[in-house]
Each structure stands twice: as structure tokens, then as C-alpha cells.
Amino acid sequence: MPMSKTIREVKAMQVVPKGRRAASPKKKDGFRLFLMVLPCLVFIFVFSYLPLWGWSFAFFNYKPGRALMDCEFVGWAHFTRLFGNPVMRRQLLMVMRNTLAMAGLGILCSPITPAFAIFMSEISSKKYQKVVQTLTTLPHFISWTIMYSLVFFMLNVNNGFVNNLLVSLGVLEKPVNFLVSQKHVWLTMQGYGMWKGLGWGAIVYLAAISGIDQELYEAAMIDGAGRMQRILHITVPGLIETYFVLLIMSFGNFLNTGMEQYYVFQNAMNQDYIQVLDLYVYNQGIKGGQISYATAIGTMKSFVALVLFAFANTLSKRVRGTSVF
């Protein structure tokens, strides 16, 4: 015992050499956490930031099959072409109209997702709740090609389920080719998007609902509050924070509507109403071979998205006092 005590005393009296400090446990834990996050940071850098080098294609007159440095350097020519050429300007305005319409409809319909999540959380039977959640989430994992096949089966002008039903009920005199119609293209695209993503989007709100203190509901029930009162005064306020964060993120993605959905549903009859910015970039770059021009459009879209995200974040901070960053 005396020997061990002496050793402890000697260790306690040891002095750290001048110019060196013993690392605190907190710093060691922080370094370990950094090492755990490091693979994710490397992954993000390689697949998100390194490809930004592709923006340089916008400043060259790139020809497929040739090295970039062997192509003609044109500077800002492709950017000025966006607005200087009357034909390109007219096409771009049409595409921006479609993009803003699709994105605007998405934001207007965004309250449907938390409302659906509240509906699912209020289902008393856990069995039925899981059935509803599974059936509404599965379409998210189905590709747009298969989704188009399902829509084609239902809306096909020849023996389509919907056409046959409407004709048999006397609503239509003859079948209508819904898939090539220019009417209500924006609304139908939004409907298909809700069909595919409603259940998946509700998962975030279901997680937020599960995080609400259950004692609030119990206290409200003791005070005689009904189901709708509990929803309006407890559940909805508990989801507001989550909703506004996702709303700010959606403003940052306002121009990023994607192209897969619109690519499979586009045709010669509805192209003037269905061609959004991402699809236009694909058609110009891949189909039209104008890779540098398409890159210039994509680069411009990225900067506009950053401006919109910063604006929405600043507005939320001033109005509500909270923001994403």
C-alpha cells in the first residue's frame, strides 16, 4: 500500500514539460468524432464539390471526343447567348414559366404532407396505420418509368381503365387521350408527384409528431379538449418548426424540379408546357449536343438557387427569429 501511494504521489507531482500541454479528454473526444465524420466529408468532397470543375465547360466551345483544353475558349459567350439570342431567350422564358409553375404548385401543396402525417398519427389502430403508411410510401421506391406504365395502363386511349369507365358511365362520348393533352399539364404533373412522394415526405413529420411531449396531450384530455382541439393547439404548433425548415430548403431547390418525371411524360403535344429547366438542360446538352451551352444554364441555375436559399433563410430569420444557418 505505501509503495502504491508513493507512485500515485510521484505521478501527481509530474510536471508537463514547458511548451507542451496535456490534451483534455474533451479535445480527444472531439478528435475521435472528427475522424468518424472524415469519411463522410471525403465522400461529399469527391462526389459533390469535385464535379463542380465541370462548370469550366461553360467557358469553352466544347466538342465531344476532344480534350477540353484543345477546344476554343469563348469566355462568357454562352451566358450572353442565354439572353442575347431572341430564339434562345424565348425558349428560356417558356422553360422558366414551366419551372416556376411546377415549383410554385409544389410549395402551395406542401401543407398536404404534414396534414397527411397528422391523419396517419390519429389512426387508432396501429395495424391500419402501418398498412396506410406502407401503401403510401412504396411508390417512392418505384421508378418513374414504372409509374408511367401504370398511368398509361389507366389513361390509355385504347382500352384504358379510366377511359372505359368514363365512357361506360356516359361521362365521355368517346375516349380521350389524356397523355398527349396540353390541358392541365402542370396540375397532373403535381398530382403524379404527390402520388409518388406523399408517404415518403410524411415520415419526417411523423418523426416530429413522435417527439412532441405526450404529457401535453394528457393534460389537454384532462381539461376536456377534443381531438380537433388537440390537433390544432398541440400537434400543429409542434410541426411548425419542421415545416418552415423544409419550406426554406424547398426555396433553395425552387429551380431544381428534376427531370425524370417530365422526361417520361413529355411528348410532341405537351412539350411547351412540360419542359422544365432540368429537362431543357438535358435536351440541349445530351440530345442537342450543346454541352457547353447546357453547362452555362446549369451554372446559372446553381447561383440563382443559392440566392433564393439565402433570401428565404434571411426572411425566416427576420420574421420568425429562426433560420437554417
Identify the residue with better confidence: 26 or 131.
131
Predicted pLDDT at 104: 92
- Give the confidence band of 1 by pLDDT, cuts at 50, 70, 90: very low
94, 272 Cβ separation under 8 angstroms = yes
Predicted pLDDT at 324: 63
| β-bridge partners, 60 | 73
Indicate whether 175 pLDDT > 90: no
Q: How far apart are CA 138 and CA 93, in angstroms?
A: 36
Contacts of residues 150-158 at CB distance under 8 Å and 24 or more positions apart, as own/partner, are 151/179, 151/192, 151/265, 152/179, 155/179
Q: How far apart are CA 281 and CA 274, in angstroms?
A: 13
Identify the residue with better confidence: 250 or 322.
250
Mean per-residue pLDDT over the chain, rounded: 85
Q: pLDDT tens digits, residue range 123-136?
A: 888 889 889 989 99
> DSSP assignment of 254-271, as one string?
TT---SHHHHHH--TTTH
For cell 358511365, what's the residue? 169
Predicted pLDDT at 10: 45
Predicted pLDDT at 140: 93
Buried b (16+ CB within 10 A) or exposed e, 88-105: eeebbeebeebbebbbeb
- Give the confidence band of 6 by pLDDT, cuts at 50, 70, 90: low
Q: At a CB cut-off of 8 Å and minimum separation 6, what does 298 contact?
A: 281
Q: How far apart are CA 159 and CA 153, in angstroms?
A: 8
202, 113 Cβ separation under 8 angstroms = yes
Q: How far apart are CA 196 and CA 189, in angstroms?
A: 11
What architecture is domain 83-320? Orthogonal Bundle (1.10)
Grid cell in block for residue 265:
411524360
Grid cell in block for residue 116:
397527411
Q: pLDDT tens digits, residue range 52-73?
A: 888 899 999 998 888 888 888 9
Q: How far apart are CA 247 and CA 33, in angstroms?
A: 31
Q: pLDDT tens digits, residue range 305-322?
A: 888 888 877 877 777 776
Q: How far apart are the first and last CA of the chain?
A: 57
- Percent of the chain residues past pLDDT 90, beyond the cut: 40
Indicate whether 168 pLDDT > 60: yes
Indicate whether 113 pLDDT > 70: yes
Residue 172 CA to its chain's centroid (Å): 38
Predicted pLDDT at 269: 87
Q: How far apart are CA 75 and CA 81, in angstroms?
A: 11
Contacts of residues 318-323 at CB distance under 8 Å and 24 or more positions apart, as own/partner, are 320/244, 322/241, 322/244, 323/248
Global confidence as pTM: 0.80
Q: pLDDT tens digits, residue range 272-296?
A: 999 999 999 999 998 888 899 999 9
Indicate whether 23 pLDDT > 60: no
In the chain, how long is the greatest CA-to-CA distance?
105
Predicted pLDDT at 11: 47
